[in-house]
Amino acid sequence: MEEMEEMANGVTGFREHERAERLAELRPAPRSRKEVVLTKLGTPCSPSWEPEWIEAVEDMEEELGRRCCGAHAPDERPCTLESKVKNGRCRFHGGGLGVGAPKGNSNARIHGLYARRIQQCGAHCPQWKTCPYAGDDVKALPEAKRPHCIYEREEMDALRKLDESAHEMYKPLEDRTTRDLNKPPYPMYAQLLMLRENLHILQVMVTRAAKALSTQGFTTQSVQQSDSYYAAYEKPSALLVAHQMLTREHRLTLSLYSTFLDKWDVPKYARP
Ligand SMILES: [Zn+2]
C-alpha cells in the first residue's frame, strides 16, 4: 500500500516537474530593453557587436568628438556617419533613409563602372544627383570610409541566395575517397564557385552600366575638322561601350558556367 502511494507521488512529482519545464520552454525569454549597451557618448550598440568592437567605436567617437554610426565600414573600422534615428545607425546600416534632397551636383563619370566589386557610395556614381542615399555627409568621408551601395549590395545578395540554395546539395564532401569524376563532389568545385561569384558581380556591373545609361544617353557628339574638312557625328557614348563590353563578358562567363552545370547535371535554379 505504502509502495503504491510512493509510486503515485513519484509519478505526480515527475509530471509536475515536466510540466513546469515545458512551460518554461514555451514562455518567451524575457527581453529587457534596459540591456541595450551604450557607448560613453550614448550611442546604442548593436547586439552583434563584440566588446572589442564597442571599444573601437568608443575610440572613434572620442576621435571625432561626437556620436557616430559605428557599423563596419569598408575600411574595417567603425562607420563615422551620423545617425538620425533611435537605434544609432546611419541610413546605410539599418538607420533608415535620411530626409532632404542631396545638395551635391557633380558630373557623372564612367569611373567605377568597371570596378569588379560592389560600388561605394559617392559623387562618382551616375545616380548621385537623384539617389535618396546621397548626401554631403557621404561626400565628406574619405574614400575608404564610404559605405557600400545599398542597391548593389541587395542585388548581389539576391543572386547569391538564388544560386546557393540551388547548389546546397552539391557542396563537396569531406571524404575524398568517394571522389568520382561524374558524381559529387565534383572536380574543380572551387572553380565553379569562382565562376559563379564572377557571374554575380558581372550582373551587378551590367545593372550599374544600364542605370548610368538611363541618365547619360547613348551617344556622344564628336567633331572632326581640319582646314578643308568639317564633320560632326554621333558616336556611341563611353557608357554604351562599357555596357556592351560587360554584357559580352557576362554572356561568355555564363556559357562557361552553364557548361559546368550541364556536365554535372547541377540544377540551375532552386526548385520551389
Ligand atoms: Zn553607418
- Given a contact cutoff of 8 angstroms between Cβ atoms, the answer to whether 89 and 82 are in contact is no
Terminal alpha carbon distance of the chain: 62
Query: In total, how many domains does the chain have?
Result: 2
CA distances from 108 to 73, 216, 233 (A): 24, 8, 22
Looking at the structure, tell me whether residues 80 and 172 fall in a common domain.
Answer: no
User: Based on the number of CB atoms within 10 Å of its own CB, is 9 exposed (0-12), middle (13-18) or buried (19 or more)?
Assistant: exposed
Q: What is the pLDDT along the chain (272 residues), one digit of tens a residue?
A: 455 555 544 444 556 667 667 666 666 555 555 578 999 999 999 988 999 999 999 999 999 999 999 999 999 999 999 988 888 999 898 887 644 333 333 334 455 677 888 999 998 888 888 888 999 999 999 999 999 999 999 888 888 887 776 665 555 444 434 445 455 556 667 777 888 889 999 999 999 988 888 877 777 777 666 677 777 777 788 888 889 989 999 998 888 888 877 776 666 655 54
Centre of ligand 1 from the C-alpha of residue 184, in Å: 42
In a domain, 185, yes or no: yes
- Domain carrying residue 234: 152-219+230-264
Looking at the structure, tell me whether residues 73 and 171 fall in a common domain.
Answer: no
Report the DSSP beta bridge partners of residue 221. Answer: 234
- For residue 257, the number of C-alpha atoms closer than 13 Å in the C-beta half-sphere is 20
Centre of ligand 1 from the C-alpha of residue 163, in Å: 29
Q: Does the bond joining 28 to the residue before it have cis omega, within 30 degrees of 0?
A: no
Strand 230-236 to 219-225 pairing:
antiparallel
In a domain, 260, yes or no: yes
pTM: 0.59
Looking at the structure, tell me whether residues 259 and 171 fall in a common domain.
Answer: yes
Centre of ligand 1 from the C-alpha of residue 230, in Å: 53
In a domain, 184, yes or no: yes
- Given a contact cutoff of 8 angstroms between Cβ atoms, the answer to whether 155 and 202 are in contact is no
Centre of ligand 1 from the C-alpha of residue 81, in Å: 5
Centre of ligand 1 from the C-alpha of residue 214, in Å: 28
Q: Is 78 helix (H, G, I), strand (E, B) or coil?
A: strand
Centre of ligand 1 from the C-alpha of residue 137, in Å: 11
Q: DSSP state, 208?
A: H
- Given a contact cutoff of 8 angstroms between Cβ atoms, the answer to whether 152 and 120 are in contact is no
Centre of ligand 1 from the C-alpha of residue 31, in Å: 25
Centre of ligand 1 from the C-alpha of residue 109, in Å: 25
Centre of ligand 1 from the C-alpha of residue 43, in Å: 12
Centre of ligand 1 from the C-alpha of residue 95, in Å: 8
Centre of ligand 1 from the C-alpha of residue 183, in Å: 45
